[in-house]
Structure 1
Amino acid sequence: MPGLPISCSTNTPGAGANCGVNGSDDCCSTLPVPGGTFNRLNLPSLPATVSDFYLDKYMVTVGRFRQYIERTGGPTQANPPPVGAGAHPKIPNSGWDPSWNSKLTADTNGLKTALVCEQWDWPSWSNAPGAEEKKPIVCATWYELFAFCAWDGGRLPTQAEINYVSAGGNQQRIYPWGGASVEDIELDDASWCCQGDGTVAGDCKTGYPSLYPCSPSDLTDVGKFPKGAGRWGHMDLAGNAYKATRDGSEIYQLLVPCNDCSRLDNNSISRFMHGGSFLAAGYKQTTDFQASYRSDDRRYYVTAMCARDL
């Protein structure tokens, strides 16, 4: 079995049997992914092979991240992850690098203040449990997301792994649910183009309308779009929030050849993310769209899904 998550052991909102479309699924459910070979970004020039692994069914929720902070103080300079934590078993030196400790906030109070994300004013975090415990944790840095997955018995997936799951492996899907073209995305597939709260902003499948009303309510609880599930049952692979990966993106190209590969680039200032978000246009939700962000940025549209190993 994989390193089973511990963040749901208290059965609190967003960290227990209360997620998904019916509000009764395990927020920490983790699903097997059979390994195989596929083309990253649907390009024959970018083949990759990944081994069997597990990927959490849902993105990391506020409630699960809260458990990390309440039980340990969270990832801080005073309480950094152990050296090597969160490593991919087939990729040497892929675990926590102690040089990253300085990228963490000094202490728990500093972490909580930072998660409020005042520069954007669109956090999902609140310093006391509230109505958004089942939403993805956003405004956490890449380092904090890495640390959470390591503490919770897992790791960040590689770019190849999350792309493999989203594309349905060798099915090479355009969207996680399928589709014949970039046009094949609807309101009930995912939270995208500021339509997660049910208000229709306009047709932005291939581009943005001139005006569209985005709000924090467009970031939805995890697992609210079962029609958009991937081949192996994973939710929100497209939309809601981008999913951070292990791979550095300072060199903006993917490794070739790739057999359980990851561009480590431990000192990289940026990381690949995958899967689109609640405010991105339709074409950015496709499995062949590539994006990145700064490792120390707090983005209100980036979260993570944790991978686990057999």
Structure 2
Amino acid sequence: MNCITWHEAMAFCVWDGGRLPTEAEWSYAAVGGDEERSYPWGDTADEDRAVFGCYGYTEASGRPCTIADLLPVGSRSIGDEATSGDGKWGQADLAGSLWEWTLDGYSDEYPISSQRCDLCDNCANLTAGSERVMRGGGFDDDIENLTTSHRLPGKPAERYYGLGARCARDR
């Protein structure tokens, strides 16, 4: 889904038996745990592993890039581990496609390294604030915005056409 508010994303995940991931959880999955990858698939930017840069858009169409240019979810999950855009544990589209809401409130500094994620208790930034964390980069971004460390603030009551969510589940 795209164009959903943070509140709608939270409600959907609860309805679906999950929850929004914390920023630490999202980051841990994206960097491959202790591998600390720059991209979910590794450390090298690879245009064939993510949906970005308005992939599907052609200048000949004479129109600006829109959500209609977005390729289907998982379209870069083709091939084996050496060629797909999936993360270490098989998550698709952690880089590109849509930005994703996380549970956390936004602060300028990301407070914890993903290597330390397993050592923290209540790692989410649940302080009241006017913005929430968005991660992953979107279909209309440049590849530089798809790194696992890139993050942005978003107003939880607003809708963004390039923003969606993924739900997390406890084991």
Shorter chain as denominator, the TM-score bin is 0.7 to 0.9
Highest relative contact order (Cα 8 Å, sep 6+), 1 or 2? 2
Which amino acid counterpart does residue 242 of structure 1 have in structure 2? W
**Deviation readout 1:218-258 (Å, 9 max, x if unpaired):** 22221111111111101000001011100001x32233586
1:304 matched to 2:165: yes
Name the CA distance, whole Å, in 2 between partners of 1:278 and 1:254.
Answer: 24
Match of 1:238 among 95, 109, 118: 95
1:166 matched to 2:30: yes
Greater radius of gyration (CA): 1
1:228 matched to 2:85: yes
| Partners of 1:191 and 1:218 within 8 A in 2 | no
Give the Å deviation of 1:148.
Answer: 0.6
| Partners of 2:18 and 2:167 within 8 A in 1 | yes
Task: Look up the match of 1:290.
Answer: 151
Other structure's SS at 1:291 match: strand
Name the CA distance, whole Å, in 1 between partners of 2:76 and 2:93.
Answer: 7
1:216 matched to 2:80: no
How do 1:138-149 residues align onto structure 2 when only pairs under 5 Å count? 138-149=2-13
Q: Could you list the runs of 5+ residues in structure 1 that have no partner in the other structure?
A: 1-136, 201-211
Q: Could you list the runs of 5+ residues in structure 2 that have no partner in the other structure?
A: 78-83
Name the CA distance, whole Å, in 2 between partners of 1:198 and 1:141.
Answer: 26
| Partners of 2:67 and 2:162 within 8 A in 1 | no
| Partners of 2:137 and 2:145 within 8 A in 1 | yes
Could you tell me the TM-score, scaled by structure 1's length? 0.48
Other structure's SS at 2:133 match: strand
1:177 matched to 2:34: no
Aligned pair count?
157
Give the Å deviation of 1:139.
Answer: 1.1
| Partners of 1:222 and 1:236 within 8 A in 2 | yes
Give the Å deviation of 1:213.
Answer: 4.5
Aligned residues with identical type, % of pairs: 42
1:275 matched to 2:136: yes
Which amino acid counterpart does residue 189 of structure 1 have in structure 2? R
Match of 2:19 among 135, 142, 155: 155
RMSD, aligned α-carbons: 2.0
**Deviation readout 1:76-126 (Å, 9 max, x if unpaired):** xxxxxxxxxxxxxxxxxxxxxxxxxxxxxxxxxxxxxxxxxxxxxxxxxxx
Other structure's SS at 1:243 match: strand
Name the CA distance, whole Å, in 2 between partners of 1:199 and 1:231.
Answer: 32
